C-alpha cells in the first residue's frame, strides 16, 4: 500500500472545470494545509488537467475513517509519468491555493 495517498473517490465535470474528490492521508494532508507540500504524486487515472479543482479529504487508512477536514486546491501543473523518475501512469500535481483565471483574462485588476 502507498504510504500517503489512495485513489480518488470521485470526479465531477462541469462546463468550465472538473472537480476531483481525493483522499489524502493525515501526514500529507497536514503538510498540504501548512503549505510545505505544494505537490502530490498519484496515479493519473483521472486525466488531471491544469485548472482542475481538487477537494482533498483527510483520511486515516488504518481506521478507514475520514476526519471531516477538507482542503480546496487547484491543479497548477501536471508532470506526467514516463520521465524524471515518475512511473508511467502516474503524475506529479502542482497544488495551487487560488483558482486559475478564466480563459482570456490576463489582468487581475479587471477581475
Domain topology for 10-110: 2.30.130
pTM (2 d.p.): 0.79
pLDDT band at 4 (very low <50, low <70, confident <90, very high): very low
Mean pLDDT on 10-17: 57
68 DSSP 8-state letter: E
CB 99 within 8 A of CB 78: no
Evaluate whether 58 touches 69 at the Cβ level (below 8 Å).
Answer: yes
Share of the chain above pLDDT 90, in %: 72
Matching residue, cell 495551487: 96
**87 pLDDT more than 50:** yes
Question: Could you read off the pLDDT of 28-65 as tens digits, one per residue?
Answer: 999 999 999 999 999 999 999 999 999 999 999 999 99
Beta bridge partners of 72: 55
Indicate if the pLDDT at residue 12 is higher than 60. no
- Sign of torsion over alpha carbons 93, 3, 61, 38: negative
Whose cell is 476531483? That residue is 20
Rounded Cα gap, residues 74 and 30, in angstroms: 17
Rounded distance between C-alpha atoms, residue 88 and residue 69, angstroms: 31
Amino acid at each position: 500500500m502507498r504510504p500517503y495517498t489512495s485513489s480518488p473517490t470521485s470526479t465531477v465535470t462541469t462546463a468550465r472545470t472538473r472537480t476531483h474528490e481525493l483522499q489524502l492521508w493525515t501526514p500529507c494532508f497536514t503538510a498540504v494545509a501548512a503549505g510545505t507540500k505544494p505537490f502530490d504524486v498519484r496515479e493519473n487515472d483521472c486525466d488531471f488537467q491544469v485548472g482542475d479543482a481538487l477537494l482533498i479529504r483527510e483520511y486515516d487508512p488504518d481506521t478507514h475513517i475520514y476526519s471531516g477536514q477538507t482542503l480546496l486546491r487547484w491543479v497548477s501543473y501536471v508532470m506526467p509519468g514516463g520521465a524524471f523518475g515518475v512511473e508511467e501512469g502516474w503524475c506529479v500535481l502542482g497544488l495551487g491555493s487560488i483558482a486559475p483565471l478564466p480563459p482570456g483574462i490576463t489582468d487581475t485588476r479587471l477581475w
